[in-house]
A = this chain, B = another copy of it.
Amino acid sequence: MIMKKAVILLSGGLDSATCLAIAKQDGYELHALSFNYGQRHKFEIEAAKSVAKSIGAKNHINLTIDLRAFGGSALTDDIEVPKERDANQISDEIPITYVPARNTIFLSFGLAFAETIKSNDIFIGVNALDYSGYPDCRPEYIESFEKMAQLATKSGTEKNNQIRLHTPLIQLTKAEIIKTGLALGVNYGITHSCYDPVDKGNPCGACDACQIRLKGFLDAGLSDPLVYNK
C-alpha cells in the first residue's frame, strides 16, 4: 500500500512537534518543512532537525528566506523581545513579535512543496487559544487560505483533488497539546520554543513563548524537561 504524503510545517517548537506526531499517527508519510527566516538564533532549526529525525520524517527541507529584507518585527529586527508579561494577558493584543504575513508565506511554500510531491495535505500547528494574539492563527484565516490554495494550484484544478490544511491543535489548550504529544511519544526535551535563548540555547523563561509553554506544563500537572535560565 502506498502511504499518503503530507507536508508538515515544523518550527522545532512544542506545537509543531506535536503536529508532526499527529500526522504520523494519522498514517501519513511525513515531509517536514522548516524555515530559516532571519530569526535571531539557529536553535530553532537545530531543534526542527532533531524533532524530524526523532519522529521519523521521510524528508525534511530547510528553506532560507530573508524576511529581514522587510523588517517590522522583534523576531527579525533588533527590537527588544518583551519579557515577563503575564501568560493570561498575552492574547489581548497583537504583540511586537508578530512577523508580517509569516504564516501566509510559510503556508505558500508548504503548498508549493505539497504540489511538487503530489500531496494534498498540509499540517500546521497553529493554535487559536494560547496563540499569542497573531491574526494568522485564527480558524477563519486557515479556512480562507484553504479556499485560495484550491484555486492557486494545478493540482487544485484537477478533479477529486481537495487540498486540505490540517490544524489538529487549533482548539486545544497548551496543556492538552502537551498531553496529546506525550501520549504519542513526543520528546519535548528536544523541542525549542524560546524567542530569546541564552548562551547555548537554553530558554530564557521570560518571553511570551516561554511563559505560555511553562503555563502549559503547569496546567497539565507536568514539568518541562527543558532547563530554563532562571
Q: What is A's interface to B at a CB cutoff of 8 Å?
A: 61, 63-67, 69-72, 94, 98-105, 107-109, 111-113, 115-117, 135-136, 138, 140-141, 144-145, 147-149, 151-154, 156-157
Excluding A107-B108, A136-B153, A147-B148, 20 further A-B contacts by CB distance (< 8 Å) are: A71-B116, A72-B116, A94-B154, A100-B111, A100-B154, A101-B152, A102-B112, A104-B108, A104-B112, A104-B149, A104-B152, A135-B151, A135-B153, A135-B156, A135-B157, A138-B151, A144-B151, A145-B152, A147-B147, A148-B148
Task: Determine how many copies of this chain the complex contains.
Answer: 2
CB neighbours (8 Å) of A115 from chain B are 72, 100-101
List 17 contacting pairs A-B, 8 Å CB cutoff, sorted by A: A63-B65, A63-B69, A64-B66, A70-B113, A70-B116, A99-B112, A100-B113, A101-B108, A103-B152, A104-B108, A104-B112, A104-B149, A135-B151, A135-B157, A141-B152, A144-B151, A145-B148
B61 touches A69 (CB 8 A): yes
User: Considering the chains assembled together, what is the distance between the CA atoms of A116 and B102 in angstroms?
Assistant: 12
User: Considering the chains assembled together, what is the distance between the CA atoms of A202 and B100 in angstroms?
Assistant: 38
Residue of B67, B69, B135, B149 touching A152 (CB-CB under 8 A)? B135
User: Considering the chains assembled together, what is the distance between the CA atoms of A107 and B101 in angstroms?
Assistant: 10
User: Considering the chains assembled together, what is the distance between the CA atoms of A146 and B103 in angstroms?
Assistant: 15
CB neighbours (8 Å) of A149 from chain B are 101, 104
A70 touches B154 (CB 8 A): no
CB neighbours (8 Å) of A111 from chain B are 100-101, 104
| A60 → B minimal CB distance (Å) | 11
CB neighbours (8 Å) of A136 from chain B are 151-153
Give the residue among A64, A113, A147, A156 with the most B Cβ atoms within 10 A: A113
Residue of B144, B145, B148 touching A141 (CB-CB under 8 A)? B148
Residue of B71, B104, B105, B157 touching A148 (CB-CB under 8 A)? B104
CB neighbours (8 Å) of A101 from chain B are 108-109, 111-112, 115, 149, 152-153
